[in-house]
Amino acid sequence: MKLNTLLFNILYLTLLALGILNCNNSDNKLPILGERDWTKKTVDGKEVVDTIYNTIPSFSFVDQNGDTISEAFVKDKIYVTDFFFTTCPTICPVMKRQMIKVYHAYEGNPELKILSHSIDPEHDTPKVLKQYATDLGIQGNQWLFLTGQKEKIYEIGQKSYMVTAKKEQSAEGGYIHSGAFILVDKERHVRGMYDGTTEEGTQKLIADIQTLLSEYKK
């Protein structure tokens, strides 16, 4: 009985704390995800603590049109990113079916881009990706399919976008990778991760994109 009460109190306090956090977040801002670090610096003679958030580093990949795409492409944009490969028989078709919904929800919005990285860049050349995009009915440059140096793609995936992507002989298609859709803001901070294989995850992302975009409408 006592333990029950204690557990109940802990639960109650936790919920309360979460509730308060939510209330403080009057702007309904999305969290900044990933590891963070702190540095001390001096402002006006006072020592203040500065938070260093996980930030997507500079990158350089090649898109389905053969153009080099770097972080400059998403300057002043928010973007959604994921990892896939064109010959994947398992979750990729599902992810692409869901991503199409995200694409259509914001089609033509100059503030939103989609970057899909291939984790099988040796096979997925720009030409292969071009055909894939065309078959998906994607034109223009709002949704780019990226290929490039394999190590670089895996590195940015694992270290910065916090997703799993690796070669695995035993897996169908030869790779295991995450089904996550990752939402990145204009400061290149990760602001949300969603299960791209589910309708719930996709709808949450579509709603959160709106929330994030409205942060910039001041």
93 binds other proteins (CB under 8 A): yes
Among 89, 108, 122, 218, binds other proteins (CB under 8 A): 89
CB of 132 to other proteins, least distance (A): 7
Q: Which stretch binds other proteins (CB under 8 A): 10-18, 72-80, 94-102, 180-188?
A: 94-102
Among 68, 134, 141, 210, binds other proteins (CB under 8 A): 134
125 binds other proteins (CB under 8 A): no
The pair of structure tokens assigned to 130 is 């071009």
122 binds other proteins (CB under 8 A): no
Q: Which stretch binds other proteins (CB under 8 A): 76-84, 93-101, 158-166, 201-209?
A: 93-101
90 binds other proteins (CB under 8 A): yes
Q: Where are the beta strands (DSSP E) in 75-134?
A: 78-84, 112-118
Contact 142, 114 (CB under 8 A): yes
Residues 6 or more apart whose Cβ sits within 8 Å of residue 69: 60, 61, 62, 63, 115, 144, 146
CB of 99 to other proteins, least distance (A): 12
Report which residue type is found at 55: T
**With CB under 8 A, what is the number of residues at the site for other proteins?**
16
Render 130-193 in DSSP notation, one character per residue: HHHHHHTT--TTSEEEEB--HHHHHHIIIIIS---EEE-TTSGGGEEE--EEEEE-TT-BEEEE
CB of 137 to other proteins, least distance (A): 5
CA angle at residue 73 from 178 to 97, to 5 degrees? 35
The full length of the chain comes to 218
Provide the binding-site residues for other proteins, judged by CB under 8 A: 86-87, 89-91, 93-94, 96-97, 132, 134-137, 172-173
